[in-house]
């Protein structure tokens, strides 16, 4: 990949400025090394001390790490706590009047919510959920726009011990249906519509469609937040308005003491099979990871920071760095309903200036598209409040990094390139901004206590500079506990026997440079990273094959300037291979089809038709060839083992 080649040549180094280091939570490499050494010397003691220091426990723990049923690890297993208590109650009364959330709507309307108000709203909604019969351990699906209410719903679940599963509002009714079913949710919380970029996205209609797909008797109630005011049909006995539910509810509600190992939430993510995985996180360890990364990576200063993570709550980043982490620290944070390009490509810069944002966390894909739409726009806004920048989701190419550093951060703000995953719950490999000398394009070094390494297929460390599989050798508090309802898949996917069954396999390839810095190279499985979002190739293939016109499909990724990776689908139709206008028409139909099956983010960028797919004589699709063709590369490899080499010429033809 061209971006990887260019990062391999990167040798600029940006050490933290003296001014930043002087005020940092972890100041200087010696301080970082001391934490690393402490974790190495007494692993459990290290985590136990931090867990006691940063979390308010309703019942202190005496056990730290329990490895007796590896890889089903437990942390702080006899302790009790409540995440919502740690995010709200413990900041009262001292921070009661402090702004917790600054919400900016799509149309620019701003509203602020104090910690006291947020506490009341969470309590009222929690009481509302209880009145619907939601109890500890029940699952609640949250299919909501970016809103104060989405955070309230998540916090309310945490407060009463219900397990939320947030489904990104851009996912289709079909994807929603699958998740409602798999989680066996009792309640679905949604909105009439979400408003993004001046357009309304019907959410309640998608919920109705999902419910009509059947086999969802588990759902008893659907709570609808009125956002746009659009008329939506309400089914008597099943559907009720958010505002009616909370009316008259008490504004305090007990924060139920939860066992540290009780599930906090399930979040579905793509894997290498067609079926999304329900990543299950636990209460205590997850909260600890969120808090420590806020302290270490985001250098949180609750009294002076205005924190803004642009991720949607439908993704893990929006869980850890919107709904939980900032609130656990008692920070003020910005929540944004809209999109970076509306009403103009200056929206982010306007908002940073308007809200005096100090800490800004976004995705490389957003940065790249904003460069393209207006590289000079940041200079027209007062960005002097910024002190720290972050990126997440994919490697950032040095060109985009330099622009982010110089134009947005005015060469003053360190950039934390944070590597982590839905499964890890919180940042794993990242610079600590007051300590780590930063190089553009690398996520640098593991956080203290994170035993990341690069190994070969047999689990042996690779020589420095060589590529290999990224693993984490020791269990860490914020890691997923299992896959909802599928412990076997959890073991096989993340703790494979070939690596001894106890080492966490991340699914990424990486290499380390002479300073030990990690350079992420890409996925080792059939997972694509499109605009920082994970998509399984099999998932898209199953969606395509579900179309009555399609006989067979293979999906690969190809490098894309803005999105990182683009989706290319090779399709064999049941009818003859289409050309010209007919081909164009079918491409449009199939793209829409995938949008409906999964969601607009999964729509193939390109579809190519063939009479067949390139297969070996044993019938295996040669994906390597398909990737080369998608990139427009000359095919140099021997294709004589192919059953049908002539097919390659057809597949080189993209539909115009």
Stretch that binds ligand WT7, among 172-180, 301-309, 419-427, 550-558 (CB under 6 A): 419-427
Q: Which of 443, 472, 572, 625 binds ligand WT7 (CB under 6 A)?
A: 443
Cβ 215 vs Cβ 252: under 8 Å: no
Residue placing its CB nearer to ligand WT7 in the complex, 276 or 330 = 276
| Cβ 182 to ligand WT7 shortest distance, Å | 18
Task: Kindly state whether residue 3 participates in binding ligand WT7, applying the rule CB under 6 A.
Answer: no
Q: Is 534 flagged in the annotation as binding?
A: yes
Task: Kindly state whether residue 490 participates in binding ligand WT7, applying the rule CB under 6 A.
Answer: no
Residue placing its CB nearer to ligand WT7 in the complex, 429 or 628 = 429
Task: Kindly state whether residue 316 participates in binding ligand WT7, applying the rule CB under 6 A.
Answer: yes
CA angle 397, 401, 406 (to 5 degrees): 155
Q: Phi and psi (nearest 5°) for 9?
A: -95, 0
| Cβ 493 to ligand WT7 shortest distance, Å | 12
Instruction: Measure the CA–CA gap between 545 and 228, rounded to whole angstroms.
Output: 36
Strands 80-81 and 258-259 turn out to be antiparallel
Give residues with Cβ within 8 angstroms of 52, minimum separation 6.
60
Residue placing its CB nearer to ligand WT7 in the complex, 392 or 583 = 392
Stretch 230-269: interaction string toward ligand WT7, x if CB under 6 A: ---------------------------------------x
Stretch that binds ligand WT7, among 3-11, 90-98, 378-386, 415-423 (CB under 6 A): 415-423
Q: Which of 520, 555, 571, 613 binds ligand WT7 (CB under 6 A)?
A: 520
Task: Kindly state whether residue 170 participates in binding ligand WT7, applying the rule CB under 6 A.
Answer: no
| Cβ 510 to ligand WT7 shortest distance, Å | 9
The single-letter DSSP state of residue 225 is E
Q: Which of 170, 314, 507, 614 binds ligand WT7 (CB under 6 A)?
A: 507
Is the bond preceding residue 93 a cis peptide, omega within 30 degrees? yes
Task: Kindly state whether residue 418 participates in binding ligand WT7, applying the rule CB under 6 A.
Answer: yes
- Cα Rg, the chain, nearest whole Å: 24
Q: Is 531 flagged in the annotation as binding?
A: yes
Burial 565-596 (b: 16+ CB within 10 A, else e): bbbbbbbbbeeeebeeeebeebbeebbebbbb
In terms of Cβ atoms closer than 10 Å to its own Cβ (0-12, 13-18, 19+), residue 597 is buried
Neighbours of 561 (CB within 10 A): 12
The single-letter DSSP state of residue 404 is I
In terms of Cβ atoms closer than 10 Å to its own Cβ (0-12, 13-18, 19+), residue 6 is middle
Residue placing its CB nearer to ligand WT7 in the complex, 85 or 268 = 268
Task: Kindly state whether residue 442 participates in binding ligand WT7, applying the rule CB under 6 A.
Answer: no
Task: Kindly state whether residue 312 participates in binding ligand WT7, applying the rule CB under 6 A.
Answer: no
Instruction: Measure the CA–CA gap between 298 and 386, rounded to whole angstroms.
Output: 12
Residue placing its CB nearer to ligand WT7 in the complex, 416 or 590 = 416
Q: Which position has the token pair 């426990």?
A: 57
Cβ 495 vs Cβ 502: under 8 Å: yes
Q: Is 417 flagged in the annotation as binding?
A: yes
| Cβ 619 to ligand WT7 shortest distance, Å | 30
Task: Kindly state whether residue 508 participates in binding ligand WT7, applying the rule CB under 6 A.
Answer: yes
Q: Is 47 flagged in the annotation as binding?
A: no
Residue placing its CB nearer to ligand WT7 in the complex, 364 or 614 = 364
| Cβ 507 to ligand WT7 shortest distance, Å | 6
Burial 14-50 (b: 16+ CB within 10 A, else e): bebeeebbeebbbbbbebbeebbebbeeebeebbbeb
| Cβ 177 to ligand WT7 shortest distance, Å | 21
CA angle 281, 445, 409 (to 5 degrees): 95
- If binding means CB under 6 A, how many residues of this protein chain bind ligand WT7? 22
Angle between helices 43-54 and 283-296 (to 10 degrees): 80
Q: Is 343 flagged in the annotation as binding?
A: no
Structure tokens at 42: 């007494």
Task: Kindly state whether residue 175 participates in binding ligand WT7, applying the rule CB under 6 A.
Answer: no
Q: Which of 417, 541, 565, 597 binds ligand WT7 (CB under 6 A)?
A: 417
Residue placing its CB nearer to ligand WT7 in the complex, 420 or 570 = 420
Task: Kindly state whether residue 393 participates in binding ligand WT7, applying the rule CB under 6 A.
Answer: yes
Stretch that binds ligand WT7, among 97-105, 208-216, 413-421, 621-629 (CB under 6 A): 413-421
The helix or strand, by DSSP H or E, that contains position 159, with its residue range, turns out to be: helix 148-160
Residue nearest to ligand WT7 (CB): 422
| Cβ 309 to ligand WT7 shortest distance, Å | 10
Task: Kindly state whether residue 422 participates in binding ligand WT7, applying the rule CB under 6 A.
Answer: yes
List Cα–Cα distances, 378 to 72, 125, 152, 335, 337, in angstroms. Answer: 47, 39, 32, 20, 21
CA angle 125, 105, 200 (to 5 degrees): 90
Task: Kindly state whether residue 394 participates in binding ligand WT7, applying the rule CB under 6 A.
Answer: yes
Instruction: Measure the CA–CA gap between 341 and 337, rounded to whole angstroms.
Output: 12
Instruction: Measure the CA–CA gap between 313 and 608, rounded to whole angstroms.
Output: 34
Q: Is 199 flagged in the annotation as binding?
A: yes
| Cβ 382 to ligand WT7 shortest distance, Å | 28
Task: Kindly state whether residue 419 participates in binding ligand WT7, applying the rule CB under 6 A.
Answer: yes
Task: Kindly state whether residue 367 participates in binding ligand WT7, applying the rule CB under 6 A.
Answer: no
Give the interface with ligand WT7 as residue ranges (CB under 6 A): 269, 316-317, 392-395, 417-422, 443, 506-508, 520, 523, 529, 532, 534
> Which residues define the annotated binding site for Mg(2+)?
545, 550
């Amino acid at each position: 990949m061209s971006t990887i080649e260019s990062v391999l040549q990167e040798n600029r180094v940006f050490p933290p400025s003296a001014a930043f280091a002087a005020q940092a939570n972890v100041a200087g490499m010696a301080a970082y090394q001391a934490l690393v050494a402490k974790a190495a010397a007494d692993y459990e003691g290290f985590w136990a001390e931090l867990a006691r220091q940063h979390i308010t426990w309703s019942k202190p723990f005496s056990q730290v790490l329990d490895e007796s049923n590896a890889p089903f690890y437990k942390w702080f297993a006899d302790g009790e706590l409540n995440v919502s208590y740690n995010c709200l109650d413990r900041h009262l009364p001292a921070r009661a009047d402090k702004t917790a959330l600054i919400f900016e709507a799509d149309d620019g309307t701003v509203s602020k919510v104090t910690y006291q108000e947020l506490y009341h709203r969470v309590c009222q909604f929690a009481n509302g959920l209880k009145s619907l019969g939601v109890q500890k351990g029940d699952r609640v699906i949250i299919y909501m726009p970016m809103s104060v209410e989405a955070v309230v719903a998540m916090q309310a679940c945490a407060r009463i011990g219900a397990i939320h599963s947030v489904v990104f509002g851009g996912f289709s009714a079909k994807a929603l249906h699958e998740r409602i079913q798999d989680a066996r949710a009792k309640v679905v919380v949604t909105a009439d519509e979400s408003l993004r970029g001046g357009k309304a996205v019907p959410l309640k209609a998608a919920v109705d469609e999902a419910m009509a797909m059947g086999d969802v008797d588990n759902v008893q109630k659907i709570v609808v937040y009125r956002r746009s005011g659009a008329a939506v049909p309400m089914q008597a006995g099943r559907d009720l308005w958010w505002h009616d539910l909370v009316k008259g509810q008490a504004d305090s509600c007990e924060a139920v003491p939860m066992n540290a190992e009780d599930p906090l939430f399930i979040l579905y993510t793509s894997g290498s099979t067609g079926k999304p995985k329900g990543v299950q996180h636990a209460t205590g360890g997850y909260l600890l990871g969120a808090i420590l990364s806020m302290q270490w990576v985001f250098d949180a200063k609750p009294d002076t920071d205005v924190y803004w993570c642009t991720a949607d709550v439908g993704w893990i980043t929006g869980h850890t760095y919107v709904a939980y982490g900032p609130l656990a620290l008692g920070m003020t944070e910005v929540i944004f309903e809209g999109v970076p390009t509306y009403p103009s490509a200056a929206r982010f810069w306007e908002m940073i200036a308007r809200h005096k944002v100090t800490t800004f966390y976004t995705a490389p894909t957003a940065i790249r598209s904003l460069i393209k739409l207006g590289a000079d726009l940041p200079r027209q806004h007062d960005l002097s409040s910024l002190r720290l920048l972050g990126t997440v989701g994919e490697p950032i190419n040095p060109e985009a990094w330099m622009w982010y550093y110089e134009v947005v951060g005015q060469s003053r703000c360190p950039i934390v390139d944070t590597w982590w995953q839905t499964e890890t719950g919180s940042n794993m490999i990242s610079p600590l901004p007051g300590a780590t000398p930063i190089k553009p394009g690398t996520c640098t070094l593991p956080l203290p206590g994170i035993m990341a390494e690069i190994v070969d297929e047999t689990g042996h460390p690779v020589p420095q500079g060589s590529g290999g599989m990224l693993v984490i050798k020791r269990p860490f508090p914020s890691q997923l506990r299992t896959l909802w309802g599928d412990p076997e898949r959890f073991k096989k996917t993340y703790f494979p026997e070939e690596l001894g069954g106890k080492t966490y396999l991340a699914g990424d390839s990486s290499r380390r440079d002479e300073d030990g810095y990690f350079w992420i190279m890409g996925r080792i499985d059939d997972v694509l990273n499109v605009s920082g979002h994970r998509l399984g190739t099999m998932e898209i293939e199953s969606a395509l094959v579900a179309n009555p016109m399609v006989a067979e499909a293979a999906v690969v990724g190809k490098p894309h300037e803005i999105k990182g990776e683009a989706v290319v689908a090779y399709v064999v139709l049941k009818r003859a291979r289409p050309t010209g206008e007919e081909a164009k028409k079918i491409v449009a139909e199939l793209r829409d089809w995938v949008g409906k099956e999964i969601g607009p983010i999964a729509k193939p960028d390109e579809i190519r038709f063939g009479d067949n797919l390139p297969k070996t004589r044993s019938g295996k699709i040669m994906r390597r060839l398909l990737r080369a063709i998608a990139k427009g590369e000359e095919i140099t490899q021997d294709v004589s083992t192919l059953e049908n080499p002539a097919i390659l010429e057809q597949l080189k033809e993209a539909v115009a």
